[in-house]
Amino acid sequence: MSRDAPLALSGARIAQLIESDGPGGAERMLAQLAGALQSAGCPTIAFLPAGGEGWLDQELAAGGVGVEHFRITRGLSPRLARELAAAIRRHGIDLIHSHEFTMAFYGAWAARRAGIPHVITMHGGRYYAGRWRRRVALRAAVALSGGAVAVSRRLAGQLRRDLWVSARRVTTIANGIRYTPAAASTLRAELTLSPEDRLIVAVGNLYPVKGHRYLLEAIALLTPQRPHLHLAIAGRGELAAALEQRAQALGLGARLHLLGLRSDVANVLAGADIFALPSLSEGLPLALLEAMHAGRPIVASNVGDIPVALASGAAGVLVEPGNPARLADAIHRLLTSDLEAQRLGKSAQARAAAEYSLPRMVAGYAELYARRLAGRVATRS
């Protein structure tokens, strides 16, 4: 995979489409990819839903990426496809890259109307799979687009089975990130922790699928041995109150710290003794990649492509999802052995640098774009 691949596309105009604009993994990946393409000489326009919270708008603006807004209505909307196609023509777009189910469908439709290539990336959620109409719609979008990209090998297999498509129709391009480590962390001072306190950090929105309740229960199981063990979770979501109530019931009220949405993830990670990812389902989460780049000892669920990223346990401890006892054992193991924790952290950091960097991800997409644009005018004066 050539690291110079984006330069071969210099001048090609790329549209990035997504149906949400909050601080989720797909949105963060899009922002980094779009910014890198823009810097490499590929003018990029992002199409985002109107009336959102504006988080992704701000991230894209910081990277010099232009933004257009559209409105999604309930039910099938030929009008949205027409409006997207018109905007695509107006901006002289050469290729559309759509993220997740809704924009995969409408992006394929708009690309067909505009007569240009289309790329689809699915990021991990299989919410399309429960309804046959969604499966049929996504299968049609994949057929019109010549295939789809999955961010993990396991998701690629699920897409092939769910959509009844051949292996050659689904490509895997792993997520990659740009990571700037914090020189020092202010988190422990912020939480007024003492030198004897140990800190577990999780990063992820507060949704059931992230499994934070099991992490809380694991901390409770460790309390008799480790009364100074704290848990900090960076993220927001519907379960904040429920997690606080559960912490109180477990006697952890003063040792659970809900940090909310943080823009200083590197600072948060630098203050952690261990990074925990107790998810019940994942593709390839950016939070895991950030923890790996930060060199943190990691305890994570054995789901999605997490075991691939952690080299089957050589770069982090893998545990059964939804099992507080296994989580507790893994955390205790790393807190007890500083040498093992340091070894795993260094292994994770080296693996992240080799396999999950932003340049590597961008090169993968640039090569895919180039193949889709073959035979077309992909550069502009």
80, 135: one domain:
yes
Across the chain, which distance is largest between two alpha carbons, in Å?
A: 69
Q: Is residue 378 part of a domain?
A: no
- What total of structural domains would you count in the chain? 2
Q: Is residue 89 part of a domain?
A: yes
Order of strands across the sheet with 198-203?
256-260, 229-234, 198-203, 274-277, 298-301, 317-319
Query: In Å, how far are 16, 45, 85 from 39, measured between CA atoms?
Result: 15, 13, 25
145, 265: one domain:
no
Structural contact between residues 107 and 17, judged by C-beta atoms closer than 8 angstroms: yes
362, 302: one domain:
no
pLDDT in tens, 302-340: 998 999 999 999 999 999 999 999 999 999 999 999 999
How many angstroms separate the CA atoms of 330 and 325, rounded? Answer: 9
Ranges in the chain, pLDDT < 50: 1-4, 377-381
pLDDT in tens, 46-67: 999 999 889 999 999 998 999 9
The DSSP result for 6-35, as a single string, is HHHTTT--EEEEES--SS-HHHHHHHHHHH
202, 331: one domain:
yes
47, 66: one domain:
yes
How many angstroms separate the CA atoms of 329 and 222, rounded? Answer: 8
Burial of 191 (0-12, 13-18, 19+ CB in 10 A): middle
Range of the domain at 122: 5-178+357-373
Q: Using a CB cutoff of 8 Å and minimum separation of 24, what contacts does 350-354 make?
A: 351/292, 351/309, 351/310, 351/311, 351/315, 352/179, 352/289, 352/292, 352/293, 353/293
Q: Is residue 258 part of a domain?
A: yes
- Helices and strands: H and E segment counts in the chain: 16, 13
Confidence (pLDDT) at 375: 61
205, 318: one domain:
yes
Confidence (pLDDT) at 7: 53
Q: Is residue 213 part of a domain?
A: yes
Phi, psi of 20 (to 5 degrees): -145, 160
Cβ contacts of 134 within 8 Å, gap of 6 or more: 101, 127, 128
Confidence (pLDDT) at 6: 54
342, 367: one domain:
no
Q: Is residue 380 part of a domain?
A: no
Query: In Å, how far are 61, 115, 199, 250, 271 from 231, measured between CA atoms?
Result: 34, 52, 6, 13, 11
219: CATH:
3.40.50.2000
Q: Is residue 381 part of a domain?
A: no
Structural contact between residues 57 and 67, judged by C-beta atoms closer than 8 angstroms: yes
154, 194: one domain:
no
| CA atoms within 13 A of residue 18's CA, in its CB half-sphere | 26
What is the 8-class DSSP label of residue 94? S
Confidence (pLDDT) at 381: 41
Confidence (pLDDT) at 323: 98
Q: Is residue 311 part of a domain?
A: yes
Confidence (pLDDT) at 379: 43
Q: Is residue 379 part of a domain?
A: no
249, 338: one domain:
yes
136, 261: one domain:
no
232, 323: one domain:
yes
275, 264: one domain:
yes
Closest to 334 measured CA to CA, from 312, 350, 318: 318
Six-digit token pair at 109? 């439709």
Query: In Å, how far are 59, 123, 235 from 54, measured between CA atoms?
Result: 9, 21, 17
Query: In Å, how far are 82, 212, 243, 263, 278 from 235, measured between CA atoms?
Result: 37, 11, 12, 10, 14
Confidence (pLDDT) at 75: 83
How many angstroms separate the CA atoms of 295 and 242, rounded? Answer: 31
Six-digit token pair at 180? 């700037």
